[in-house]
Structure 1
Amino acid sequence: MADASPRTDISTDADTDDKNQQFDRSLSLPGVVSDSSDRSKDKTDQKSLRRLAQNREAARKSRLRKKAYVQQLESSRLKLTQLEQELQRARQQGVFISSSGDQAHSMSGNGAMQFDAEYARWLEEQNRQINELRAAVNSHASDTELRMIIDGILAHYDDIFRLKGIAAKADVFHLLSGMWKTPAERCFLWLGGFRSSEVLKLLANQLEPLTEQQVAGITNLQQSSQEAEDALSQGMDALQQSLAETLSTGSQNSSGSSGNVANYMGQMAMAMGKLGTLEGFIRQADNLRQQTLQQMHRILTTRQSARALLAIHDYFSRLRALSSLWLARPRD
């Protein structure tokens, strides 16, 4: 009994120490949980701050991009306004500048550019001749003097038809597109120039009084011009249809085989041959215009021919003036 007591005391003390340690750990546990919660909140706050900072930076960059874009638009607008003003001044001085943004692409070699320069000089000389003719008409010059001026103007028209024939060989598409004309003139463009029948219609009311023979002659000339224009227009339509069929044939079977490559090259050669006929259409249309002017001069008297040439020139001058006003119009 005496030997057992000490061992019992020792066991009891050990159990008591274990309980005390468990109690201490239980007291310290809420502090650990509290520290973990605080760290979690800190991490959440840091993420929110980073997100806010990123949003502010993105907004700042967006504002800078928008400001730069607005400045770029304003600069482009100023450049466009300056270009239009220079274009208007150039046209007023009789210098032709193409308004097409694809001008450089449309000019093969120097043929089209050379024609534009020649046409500008031709137009300047025509203005001089017309002013001389107008002064002679207003001063009641003799028929002999008027006839000399009229012959010079008709010869000057022959020059532009000759220049167009040369330009058609260099770049027929430049003539057909009418980029050497002003925008308003291009609205009435037909095969690289004016319609003879339309010009005769414009002159009908400005040449009165006409004799019955003159009326019959002008009417027959207008009808023959209209028939020739219809025939040329039908030929152009047929050419376009034939060209479209040539280019579309076999397009669904295009592959890399040598046979298909040969077919493709054959199609292109055939299409090139058909495009070569465009030059002939331009030449025939100019011949029609040239013959119409000459026959009109033979039907009319000298003074009537002078009035007709003045009316034709004034009509195209108004179209050019209308183009200048259109290009210089205010834009909101």
Structure 2
Amino acid sequence: MANSNEPNSRDRFEAFYEEWLAGQQAILNQLLLVAAETAEKDNDCERRRSLIEQSLSHYQRYFEERNDIASDDVFVVFSSPWLSSLERAYLWIAGYRPTLILRLVESGVADLSPEQARRMDRLKAEAVRLEQEVSEAMAAVQESVAARPLVALVSRMGRAVDGEVSAIDVAMDRLRAEMVGVLESADALRGSTMRRAIEVLSPAQAVKFLVAAAEFQLRIRRWGQQRDSNREPAV
């Protein structure tokens, strides 16, 4: 029997997310130090590459931990209660849009060469197309919920007989699996878009981009928490 004192999926991820954000701030501090340097010696480039990989690994850790939670409760992942209301306003399938990642390249890196700009344009066009495909897959999942007998069965939950309860369980299991599949596709697109963008950039440019991405996330977090706090009624 499970220990009733053990934290649930939401509590576990909330604790992880706060720790992850602290790690994100620490990486940002290192990125800012490196971004302020102008030398292009071999050892400096190697330092930048190491920090870039550290940052990417940190993002990957977030995806892996959140997907572990999704395997337990995909619905809580899509609702993301550990985020502020402002953070949730930016969500696309439980995370940021890949095209937002590319806009952060545009805002954070001002010295793209013509060839880099052309490659970024091609990457953006592909990201828009793939985003649409994943959005259509999510819409299909949502439409299938209404098309199945699930809605009618749930409306009768208080009166459902054993066979109908079993049908609800089967339908919910299928819905969970489909939502997890869409989430995995969205995360794969987010990850590949970030890595492909970094491949276009020099190490120094990639550091600037990662600074812009981390600052954006941490500022939205801070502003969102402040807004939510200001709206909370006085006790």
TM-score by length of 2: 0.84
- The alignment partner of 1:329 has SS state of helix
In structure 1, distance between residues paired with 2:152 and 2:70:
28
Measured at CA, do residues 254 and 178 of structure 1 come closer, stay the same or move farther in structure 2, by a change above 3 Å?
Answer: closer
Q: Which moved more, 1:276-285 or 1:245-254?
A: 245-254
Residue 165, structure 1, aligned to residue 63, structure 2? no
Q: State the distance in 2 between where 1:155 and 1:254 align.
A: 44
Match of 1:202 in 2: 104
Distance 1:126 1:252 in 2: 44
Amino acid at match of 2:100: E
**Higher-Rg member (1/2):** 1
- Say which structure, 1 or 2, has more relative contact order (CA 8 Å, 6+ apart): 2
The 1:252–1:180 alpha-carbon spacing in structure 2 relative to 1, beyond 3 Å, is closer
Q: Which moved more, 1:204-213 or 1:152-161?
A: 204-213
Q: Which residue of 2 aligns with 1:57?
A: none
- Higher mean displacement: 288-297 or 244-253: 244-253
Q: CA, structure 1 residues 233+143, in 2 after alignment: closer, same or farther (shift >3 Å)?
A: same
Deviations 1:87-111 (A, max 9, x none): xxxxxxxxxxxxxxxxxxxxx9622
2:180 counterpart letter in structure 1? E
In structure 2, give the amino acid aligned to 1:232.
Answer: V
Query: Is the contact between residue 153 and residue 160 of structure 2 (CA under 8 Å) also seen in structure 1?
Result: no
Amino acid at match of 2:226: L
Instruction: Give the whole-Å Cα distance in 2 for the aligned partners of 1:187 and 1:257.
Output: 37
Distance 1:251 1:125, change over 3 A: closer
Partner residue in 2 for 1:50: none
Q: Does 1:132 align with 2:30?
A: yes
Sort the Cα spacing of 1:127 and 1:268 in 2 relative to 1 into closer, same or farther, 3 A: same
Change (3 A) 1:321 1:291: same
State the SS of the aligned residue for 1:181: coil
Q: Structure 1: how far apart are the matches of 2:61 and 2:52?
A: 14
Q: Distance in 2 between matches of 1:139 and 1:312?
A: 19
CA-based RMSD of the aligned residues comes to: 2.7
- Residue equivalent to 2:3: none
Matches within 5 A, 1:37-48: none
Structure 1: runs of 5+ lacking an equivalent:
1-107
Count of matched residue pairs: 223
Structure 1 residue aligned with 2:173: 272
1:184 paired with 2:86, answer yes
| DSSP 3-state at the match of 2:83 | coil
CA distance in 1, matches of 2:14, 2:32: 27
Return the match for 2:13 from 111, 115, 128. 115
Instruction: Using the aligned pairs only, state the percent identity.
Output: 24
Contact persistence 2:109–2:205 (CA under 8 A): yes
Deviation at 1:214, TM superposition (A): 0.9
TM-aligned CA distance change 1:278 to 1:255, over 3 Å: closer
Letter in 1 for 2:206: S
**Structure 1, residues 179-234: CA drift from partner, whole Å, max 9, x if none?**
12222110011111100112212322432221222112111211211212111111
- Give unpaired runs (5+ residues) of structure 2: 1-5
Counterpart of 2:147? 245
- Letter matched to residue 90 of structure 2: F
Q: Normalised by the size of structure 1, how large is the TM-score? A: 0.61
